Structure 1
Amino acid sequence: MPSALTTRFCLVRHGETDWNIERRLQGQIDIQLNTTGLQQADRLSQALAQAGLAFSALYVSDLQRARQTAAAIARDNALTPIATERLRERHFGHFQGLTYAEAEVRIPEDYRLFKSRDPAYAPGSGESLAVFQSRVQTFFDEAAARHPGQTVLVVSHGGVLDIAYRMANKLPITHQRDFPIPNAALNWISYVDGEWQLERWADQSHLEHSRDEL
Structure 2
Amino acid sequence: SSSVDQTYTEIVVVRHGETYWNAERKIQGHIDVELNDAGRQQAVRVCVFYFFNSFVFLILLVVKHLGDMQGLVYQEASKIRPIAYKAFLSNRTDVDIPGGGESLDKLYDRCTSALQRIGDKHKGGGLFHYMVSTALGVIRSLYERARPKARKVDKILTTSVSVFRLFDGDKWRIHVWGDMTHLDQTGFLKSGFGGDRTSG
TM-score by length of 2: 0.82
How far apart are the structure 2 equivalents of 1:108 and 1:141?
36
Alignment of 1:178-193 (within 5 A): 178-193=153-168
Structure 1 counterpart SS, 2:173: strand
Say which SS state the counterpart of residue 199 (structure 1) adopts.
Answer: strand
> What secondary structure, in the 3-state scheme, does the structure 1 residue paired with 2:182 have?
coil
| Contact 1:117-1:129 at 8 Å conserved across structures | no
The residue type paired with residue 9 of structure 1 is I
Contact in 2 for aligned 1:184/1:210 (Cα 8 Å): no
Shift of 1:9: 1.0
8 Å CA contact 2:69–2:84 kept in 1: the answer is: no
Secondary structure at the counterpart of residue 198 of structure 1: strand
Unaligned runs of 5+ in 1: 61-86
* In structure 1, C-alpha distance between the alignment counterparts of 2:175 and 2:182, rounded to whole Å: 18
Question: Contact 1:13/1:158 (CA < 8 Å) preserved in 2?
Answer: yes
User: Cα deviations across residues 39-69 of structure 1 (Å, max 9, x unaligned)?
Assistant: 11111122224xx533352112xxxxxxxxx
The answer as to whether partners of 2:30 and 2:62 remain within 8 angstroms in 1 is yes
Maintained 8 Å contact 2:111/2:141: yes
Instruction: Report whether the alignment pairs 1:164 with 2:142.
Output: yes
- Alignment RMSD, CA only? 2.1
Query: Unpaired runs of 5+ in structure 2?
Result: none
Matched with 2:25 is 23
The question of whether the paired residues in 2 share the 8 Å contact of 1:27 and 1:89 is answered with yes
Q: Is contact 2:68-2:84 (8 Å) kept?
A: no
**Greater helix proportion:** 1
Q: Which residue does 2:87 correspond to in 1?
A: 113
The Cα of 1:37 is off from its aligned counterpart by 0.9
- The C-alpha deviation readout for 1:115-156, integer Å capped at 9, x for no partner, is 123222111121121111111111011011123431211111
More moved, 15-24 vs 2-11:
2-11
- Per-residue CA distance 1:50-108 (angstroms, 9 max, x = gap): xx533352112xxxxxxxxxxxxxxxxxxxxxxxxxx1111100000012211123333
Q: Which runs of 4+ in 1 moved over 6 A?
A: none
Query: Residues 1-214 of structure 1 correspond to what in structure 2 (within 5 A)?
Result: 3-49=5-51, 52-55=52-55, 57-60=57-60, 87-124=61-98, 125-148=100-123, 149-171=127-149, 177-193=152-168, 194-207=170-183, 208-211=186-189, 212-213=192-193, 214=196
Contact preservation (8 Å) 1:26, 1:97: yes
Matched residue count: 183
CA apart distance, 1:202: 1.1
2:104 maps to amino acid:
L
- Contact kept? 1:186, 1:202, Cα under 8 Å: yes
Structure 2 letter corresponding to 1:53: N
Q: List per-residue Cα deviations over 1:170-199 (Å, max 9, x = no partner).
A: 159xx7x43321111211111123211111
TM-score (norm 1): 0.77
Distance 2:88 2:149 in 1: 18
8 Å contact from structure 2 (residues 18, 38) kept in 1: yes
Structure 2 partner of 1:83: none
Residue 111 of structure 1 aligns with an amino acid whose one-letter code is Y
